[in-house]
Structure 1
Amino acid sequence: MPLHVPPAPAPALRSVLTALGSPTAVREARTPSLRAALGPATPELPLPVHVLDRVTPEGTAVTSLAGWRFLIRCGDRAVAAAETMLTPDGWAFSHFFEGPYIAATEQALRQAENMKGAYQPRLLSVPGLYMLTLWLHGDLTADGADGHPAATDLLVPLAPAPPGIAAHRPHRVAELLPLLTHRVTPAPLLSSPA
């Protein structure tokens, strides 16, 4: 089933296009694959990046929008990504980057397109675990910048995933969130014997 990619804010896309058109921005980027790319580079698949801030006692994930991520495609593959962020003046280009999450994001998106059901793809970052997931939101009409993971939404951990969590295995939020919460919650300090 096709994914319903939410539209990115126009200023976010413009800022990425401007950065791609700037020889200085591309040359100074820490992305050798983008600097060495042959042919035109185009931003595709804008995904809102949400950060898991906390989980309420009721088990609701509280997230905040951190930015929009665009995969940068040259030819038939993504070679890098561009991140944008919200500033007091609006959406602005932040940086280019590359690494394992580029290919993992593409793989998870292809996997999601073959699932039953329709989803709105987003990214959910779990900073306490150095983890990134493809968040498949069930409300196709939702604003990609808002909301929180519903219990029936799917999370697909991207590779590399933390130890004990299988990459590219879809989990319902209701199943994975308790595990993540347990992993991120610091263990209580034990008092020393008297």
Structure 2
Amino acid sequence: MRYDLVIFDNDGVLVDSEPISNTLLAGYLTELGHPTSYEESVRDYMGSAMHRIHELVEERSGQRLPVDFDEVFHARVFAAFQAELEAVVGAAEVLKQLAAAGVPYCVASSGSHERIRVGHRKTGLDAWFRDEIVFSAEDVGRGKPSPDLFLHAASRMGVAPERCVVVEDSRLGVQAALAAGMDVYGFTAMTPEEKLAGAAGFFRRMDELPTILGL
């Protein structure tokens, strides 16, 4: 099937940010008295918007995170991005092929617009993303697994949900895409297939994606 729109998740799909951000998140939560391992951070928070972190911590501990939690966490993440962040291998080549084939694409991320832009500038992927094709959970209020973000992106791009395909690497993202009525393919470089149940297919290297998309 040739799709009318390819929607990319950002963290872990376009930029190799998940190891960095989950290491920092686990460390910060532990500092604040909520012991969290890297593996637990990946399991519970990978692919989620910031509000989910607050909700889960309060649900489990009965305590609210500090009011400046997001600000402090993002400052640490952005500093680490500037030092360490790289694009996912092959991501720029896939975007180049999509552009050459005239296939519309966009990014729909649980991260903030600032986080998306910081990562894209550091990795050079900003060359492939105009502001009008960058969508964040900030735009809709509810992040993944709610379908709101993907439906918002499809609407803004003028494409029916059933003509969209989503590229995801998180359980929450796959759930959101399915809830939106979209096909979704699971990127398994970091996430095992069994964690991405419901995806139409799986791929481990980004250079496999063009074949899946029929380019």
- Who wins on radius of gyration, i.e. which is larger? 1
Q: Of Structure 1 and Structure 2, which has the larger fraction of its residues in strand?
A: 1
Same fold (TM over 0.5): no
Q: TM-score range by the shorter chain?
A: under 0.3
TM (norm. structure 2) is: 0.26
Higher helix share: 2
Which structure has the higher relative contact order (CA within 8 Å, separation 6+)?
A: 2
TM-score scaled by structure 1?
A: 0.28
